[in-house]
Structure 1
Amino acid sequence: MNLRLNRRTTRSTGIAAVAAALLITAGAAGSATASGTWEGKGPREAAALTGTAKLYRPAGDDITFTFDAHLAAKDNTHPENATGTFRFSHYKGDWGGYAVAQVDCLATGGKVAVVTGRIIETDVAQFKGARVGVSVNDLGTHDRLGYSWLTQDPQKGDVPKCQTAPPFEKVKEGTGDFHVLPWILDYPTQ
């Protein structure tokens, strides 16, 4: 009788061990997927905004925005540690200008991103050194974009970090390739 009990116990223990191993493996795979990679480009960052698009303007203005903004996994709770640049330009005929901003904050949620940065290069005097902000809604072929200088005069003070206008502009059809990597905050369980 003890032999049977031991065999049953051994079999039950073996089944339990296999089931536990499978659960641990499944949990690890789920964690790897959650932290995983972004578009197969290595370990997943905490957040990112990349891509280029032109804004829709029926009058023929050439307005382009390009983003390369990243928040490293180690900085997940510090969006002000984001790195990278974004560039924008607006030309029509022989009029226009451009600016390049050094990213100083990046926050994303779902397919929406907000990025701010200081202008480090420009041919528009009033932008030099100002903090500007841009928002993006990554909607595939119908991306949208907003920017702070519609409502904020850079000469009257800085836009706060990670704040800007909502994405009110339409992207010109066929040009939007923005990619927003959603920010996933790890909340303590207790």
Structure 2
Amino acid sequence: MSRIAFTRTSTRALTVGAAVLLTAGAAGAAMASGEDVTHPGRSIAAHSAGKAEPREAAALTGKAKLFRKTTEDVTFTFDAHLAKKDVKRPDRATGTFKFVHLEKPGGKGGWAKGRIDCLVTGGKVATTTGIITETSPGLMEKTRGGRVGFSVHDTGKDKLDRVGYSWAATGGPTGDKKLPKCNSAAPFEKVKQGTGDFHVVPWKVPYPTS
């Protein structure tokens, strides 16, 4: 695995229009009883009279291993979210990430995990960054406090998702403190079939009309 450096740029908020609302449904049995299954104890009529629940502005979740022809065991885990109220501020995303790189399952290697600090999604492609807060002992310790970036292409059910990372070109993560938020290499790696899946919630960005 390798790393890539980027030039620092400022993160700017985008102009956004109306928020997307998610309409909750109810099962047949609940409909017969008049209960809203999305909010137990509340009637469908009461739900219909109120406002629909807002979805989050963007998200990247899931866990999977990368495809390798060697014995390497490389796993990425993401739980990144951008709240609806922060739809104009991808740099206010929250959540966690973790990556593990072992020479073989249960073998030597290292891991790192941390907190998400930026998330942008477009369609089914996500780019996120985070600060490394914990690592395995050894070489990975020097990356603590630095920023790393990731990208994911959610290709859909029963298809192989793709993953990229900010150190794609130069060897391994160093915990670069100069890497700008929401920057990573393209999602060029394939996920190993049957090892997991990633899910991307698209960022709905209405463009200015005037």
Same fold, judged at TM 0.5 (above): yes
Query: Size of the alignment, in residue pairs?
Result: 157
- The CA distance in 2 between the partners of 1:84 and 1:71, in whole Å, is 9
**RMSD (Å) for aligned C-alpha atoms:** 2.2
Moved more, 93-102 or 164-173: 93-102
Q: Which residue identity is paired with 2:133?
A: I
| CA pair 99-172 structure 1, distance change in 2 beyond 3 A | same
Q: CA deviation at 1:177?
A: 1.3
Higher-RCO chain (CA-CA 8 Å, sequence separation at least 6): 2
Residue of structure 1 equivalent to 2:155? 139
Q: What residue ranges of structure 2 are gaps of 5+ in the alignment?
A: 1-17, 25-37, 39-52
Q: Post-superposition shift, 1:155?
A: 5.9
* Structure 1 letter corresponding to 2:200: V
| Partner Cα separation in structure 2 for residue 162 and residue 62 of structure 1 | 26
TM-score (norm 2): 0.69
Once the two structures are superposed, residues 11-58 of structure 1 have per-residue CA deviations (whole angstroms, 9 ceiling, x without a partner) of xxxxxxxxxxxxxxxxxxxx99x42169x8x63100000001100011
Q: TM-score, normalised by structure 1?
A: 0.75
CA distance in 1, matches of 2:101, 2:176: 22
Aligned to 1:119: 132
TM-fit CA distance, 1:76: 0.4
Q: Any stretches of 5+ residues in structure 1 without a counterpart?
A: 1-30
d(CA) in 1 for partners of 2:169, 2:74: 18
Cα deviations across residues 82-123 of structure 1 (Å, max 9, x unaligned)?
000011101124321111121010000001000000001111
Q: What corresponds to 2:22 in structure 1?
A: 36
Give the C-alpha shift of residue 172 in structure 1: 0.2
Counterpart mapping for 1:1-190 below 5 A: 34-36=20-22, 43-93=54-104, 94-123=107-136, 124-140=140-156, 141-151=159-169, 154=174, 157-190=177-210
1:17 equivalent in structure 2: none
